[in-house]
Amino acid sequence: MIATEPLSVEGIRRGLQTSTVGRQLYLFGEVQSTNAALRNLAREGAVEGTAVLAESQRAGRGRLGREWFSPSGVNLYASVLFRPHFAPRQAPCFSFIASLAAADAVKELGPSPAIKWPNDLLVDRKKVAGSLVECATRGNEIECLILGIGVNVNVPLPVLRAALGPAGANATSLAAVLGREVDRNALAASYLTHLDAWARRHKADGPEPILAAWRERDILTGRRVAVRGEGKGFEGRAVGVDGDGHLLVEDPRGQRHVVLTEEIRILE
Q: Which residues bind ligand BT5 (CB under 6 A)?
A: 33-35, 57, 60-64, 66-69, 77, 79, 119, 127, 130-132, 148-150, 152, 164, 167, 171
Which residue's Cβ lies closest to ligand BT5? Answer: 130
Q: Is 45 or 166 the residue whose CB approaches ligand BT5 more closely?
A: 166
Closer Cβ to ligand BT5, 126 or 202, answer by number: 126
Of residues 157 and 250, the one with the C-beta less far from ligand BT5: 157
Residues 235, 252: Cα–Cα separation, whole Å: 8
CB 42 within 8 A of CB 144: yes
CB-neighbour burial class of residue 165 (10 A; exposed 0-12, middle 13-18, buried 19+): exposed
Q: How far is the CB of 173 from ligand BT5 (least distance, A)?
A: 8
Handedness of CA 195, 127, 147, 190 (dihedral sign): negative
Q: How far apart are CA 20 and CA 204, in angstroms?
A: 14
Which CB sits closer to ligand BT5, 169 or 258?
169
Tell me the closest approach of the beta carbon of residue 139 to ligand BT5, in angstroms: 26
Query: CB of residue 67 vs ligand BT5: minimum separation in angstroms?
Result: 6
Angle 236-240-241 from CA coordinates, rounded to 5°: 120
Q: Which of 90, 77, 191, 182 is nearest to 137 (CA)?
A: 90
Residue 61 DSSP class:
B
The residue among 67 and 141 lying less far from ligand BT5, judged by its C-beta, is 67
Of 57 and 185, which CB lies nearer to ligand BT5 in the complex structure? 57
**Shortest approach of ligand BT5 to residue 169 CB, angstroms?**
10
Shortest spacing between CB 129 and ligand BT5, in angstroms = 8
Q: What DSSP character marks residue 63?
A: G
Closest separation between CB of residue 134 and ligand BT5, Å? Answer: 9
Tell me how far, at minimum, the Cβ of 30 lies from ligand BT5, in Å.
12
Phi, psi of 199 (to 5 degrees): -65, -35
Torsions phi, psi of 42, nearest 5? -65, -40
Determine contact, residues 264/224, Cβ cutoff 8 Å. Answer: no
CB 159 within 8 A of CB 179: no
C-beta closer to ligand BT5: residue 206 or 226 = 226
